[in-house]
Structure 1
Amino acid sequence: MLFRREVLEGIAGGRIDRVFRVWAEPRVHAGSTQRTWAGIVVIDSVTAVTPEEITEEDALRSGFKGRAALLTALSKSTKEGGYHRVMLHLGGPDPRSELAEKAELTEQELAGLKATLDGIDGRSRRAPWTREVLRLIEERPGLRAMDLAERLGREKLSFKADVRRLKALGLTESLETGYRISPRGKALMAYLRSLAE
């Protein structure tokens, strides 16, 4: 489920505790979670609703100025299906974000990260890619994924999947557009450069 930046800011601030979607079948269920830049969003419930069941409070608590504005937005959806109210809350920070902020790494931790990258590259069906992607993101923070992928002659979706693997290690962070190297990633890059000297 995608969230606009202002919606995530509202969820993080406690102003938004529900969103509405047009779905043929619900895409999420109660108890599921989603990682976002604002933290882990927890789904509390998913309920199919008719337009008549959508209240003024629903609109205000989903970030709209009123019921009419929410219904207008829903009616403009190009998706097939019915309306669904998704109740949610921010469950806490994304563990990857906390990991990404950890820049004070021991020699053993840095060597372990290097070994992990070596393993990923060794299992890759194509040429080693981890360091190349990290260097590109380090040199061009905020550049769109599509532009980064093009610079490497890669498809955007497979490139984004690779960046997610690096993010899971705490080495990159997503920006509103593009990515940047995290403090943990910077520490690793400095370590890798020192080994090459």
Structure 2
Amino acid sequence: MQMRPAELEAIRAGDVDVAFRRWERPRVKVGTRMRTAVGLVEITSVDRVPVSRLTAADARRAGAASLAALRQGLDKVHADRPVYRVGLRYAGADPRQALRESVPDAAELETLGAWLDRLDRASPAGPWTRATLALIDELPARRAPDLAERMGRDTPSFKLNVRKLKERGLTESLDIGYRLSARGAAVLDHEGYPRPSAGRSAPEPGIPLPHLGAAATRALTARGVVRLEQVAELGVGEVQALHGVGPYAVRHLRSALDAAGLAFRDDQGA
């Protein structure tokens, strides 16, 4: 079940607790917890509803501007399919986040190594796990198609493999590409793999940018802005003027700045 970034943010904030979809049959089950960009979102109900029974309260709960806007949106695609009301609730942070930050002990490193070996043996294309971890370590924040080409793989199968590593907390998805987690780095270090990143200078201190979407992240990093402290040196108008930075990215930046006790330059002292 796909949801827009703004919709996910509203679910996390508690402002949205239902979504309406046109499906031939339900595509989600009650109790399912979906991993999203904002954390876990749980399906609390799935009910088929006639369009004629939709109300203004339904529209508000779904984050629509009005009942008319809700109905209009549902009529844009697959208007011949029935409508389902899907109950939603924010169920907390993705547990993989804490897993990525935990450094495994010796016994767990052996277990992880054995799991990686099983993946390698099961692959018809041959061993790939350590090479993929090492490549992500070498080229963080690089586009998946570029990494796939370096591995001699097609992009969909490369992404599928990286997702397997992500499930064990070894990698982390960025708005553009991936990076190796502390857990993944510990695996490579334990097995004696050379790590180019080990010789790199320490990253600039500060608070990394939140997830903003690839276009906004590209626009900011092209200007050399990679930390929230640098965002606070800019006015909101300067940020909005960057190609690829839309209202969602500005709202998310403002929220992250506020949580860090910072603000856009023209909001400081307000």
**TM-score normalised by structure 1 residue count:** 0.84
Matches within 5 A, 1:45-64: 45-64=45-64
Q: Secondary structure at the match of 1:42?
A: strand
- Structure with bigger gyration radius: 2
Residue in 2 that maps onto 1:101: 101
Give structure 2 stretches of 5+ with no counterpart.
196-270
Q: Distance in 1 between matches of 2:193 and 2:148?
A: 27
Q: Distance in 2 between matches of 1:185 and 1:52?
A: 52
Give structure 1 stretches of 5+ with no counterpart.
none
Q: Secondary structure at the match of 1:113?
A: helix
Residue in 1 that maps onto 2:135: 136
Query: Shift of residue 78 of structure 1?
Result: 4.9
CA deviation vs aligned residue, 1:118-160 (integer Å, no higher than 9, x gap): 2321232222111222223233334443443233232233222
Residue in 1 that maps onto 2:33: 33
Q: Distance in 1 between matches of 2:50 and 2:175?
A: 33
CA deviation vs aligned residue, 1:47-97 (integer Å, no higher than 9, x gap): 122222222222222222222222222222257512211011122332222
Residue in 2 that maps onto 1:23: 23
CA deviation vs aligned residue, 1:23-56 (integer Å, no higher than 9, x gap): 1111012222222232222111111222222222
Matches within 5 A, 1:89-168: 89-102=89-102, 104-168=103-167
Cα contact 1:23–1:80 (8 A) shared by 2: no
Residue in 1 that maps onto 2:173: 174
Residue in 2 that maps onto 1:10: 10
RMSD (Å) for aligned C-alpha atoms: 2.4
Q: Larger % of strand: which? A: 1
AA in 2 matched with 1:124: S
| Range 39-48 or range 153-162, more displaced | 153-162
AA in 1 matched with 2:147: L
Q: Distance in 2 between matches of 1:190 and 1:84?
A: 49
Distance 1:83 1:154, change over 3 A: same
AA in 1 matched with 2:124: R
Distance 1:145 1:195, change over 3 A: closer
Cα contact 1:46–1:86 (8 A) shared by 2: yes
Q: Secondary structure at the match of 1:92?
A: coil
Query: Shift of residue 168 of structure 1?
Result: 1.3
Distance 1:7 1:157, change over 3 A: same
Query: Shift of residue 17 of structure 1?
Result: 0.7
Higher RCO, 1 or 2 (CA under 8 Å, sep at least 6)?
1
Cα contact 1:171–1:185 (8 A) shared by 2: yes
How many residues align structurally?
A: 195
Q: Distance in 2 between matches of 1:164 and 1:119?
A: 16
Residue in 2 that maps onto 1:71: 71
Q: Secondary structure at the match of 1:158?
A: helix
Q: Distance in 2 between matches of 1:77 and 1:26?
A: 16
Identity %, equivalent residues: 45
| Range 183-192 or range 40-49, more displaced | 183-192
